[in-house]
Amino acid sequence: MSTLIVTTWSLEQTSPADLQPAAAPEGDVRIVRAQEPSPEFSRFLYASVGGDIRWTDRLGWTYAQWREHLNRPGVETWVAYDRGTPAGYVELESQDDGVVEIVYFGLIQAFRGRRIGGHLLSYGTARAWDLTDRWPGLAETKRVWLHTCSKDGEHAMANYQRRGFQLFDTKVEEEPEVATPGPWPGAHAL
């Protein structure tokens, strides 16, 4: 089995004032919270966004695992729609002591390069900062963090930094190379 050398960068914001919003893209782009936890929809987003950039950690999750995760207090999915079509998403997860992680963020391949990503990241980060407004009982957000890696899109790191995220950790590891079919086998041959 072949392996990859993967660099993972962890970035953070420690104040809502750190956020540098991107301009909204032209056209009919809306961002909506998926308020009803749906394992089917969440798995669709995960596989569709991450298929070409080797997201594999959740591909083996059962329906019950998806449902359990999505029903946790402080887990939210915000979806960008371009003219009514899902274009990408950001998943937030509340953690201990007022920390919120942007666990997943990205766009479906056909929607990349349209200036939707910066807008979605800005909006999702703002929702991480005001997460406790929607989840009474959780600690007020004091820190928002995320990680990206060398397998992600070529513009990912620059987008995070333009939005005001600061690097706080870098790791380099070897991992097995795993083929991902995208949302279905042959999807990358389009």
Q: Tens digit of pLDDT per residue, the chain (190 long)?
A: 788 898 999 999 999 999 999 999 999 999 999 999 999 999 999 999 998 887 888 989 999 999 999 999 999 999 999 999 999 999 999 999 999 999 999 999 999 999 999 999 999 999 999 999 999 999 999 999 999 998 887 889 999 999 999 999 999 999 887 766 555 555 554 4
Q: Is the residue at 84 inside a domain? A: yes
Q: Is the residue at 184 inside a domain? A: no
Work out whether strand 29-33 and strand 3-13 pair parallel, antiparallel, or are unpaired.
Answer: unpaired
Q: Is the residue at 14 inside a domain? A: yes
- DSSP summary character for residue 22: P
Q: Is the residue at 186 inside a domain? A: no
Q: What integer pLDDT is reported at residue 57 of this predicted model? A: 87
Work out whether strand 85-94 and strand 99-107 pair parallel, antiparallel, or are unpaired.
Answer: antiparallel
- Count structural domains, the chain: 1
Q: Is the residue at 17 inside a domain? A: yes
Q: What integer pLDDT is reported at residue 189 of this predicted model? A: 47
* Token pair listed for 74: 């402080």
CATH number of the domain bearing residue 47: 3.40.630.30
Q: Where are the alpha helices (DSSP H) in 32-111?
A: 39-50, 63-70
The model's pTM: 0.92
Q: Is the residue at 31 inside a domain? A: yes
> Could you tell me the residue range of the domain that residue 166 belongs to?
3-179
Q: What integer pLDDT is reported at residue 190 of this predicted model? A: 44
- DSSP summary character for residue 163: T
Q: Is the residue at 188 inside a domain? A: no
Q: Is the residue at 8 inside a domain? A: yes
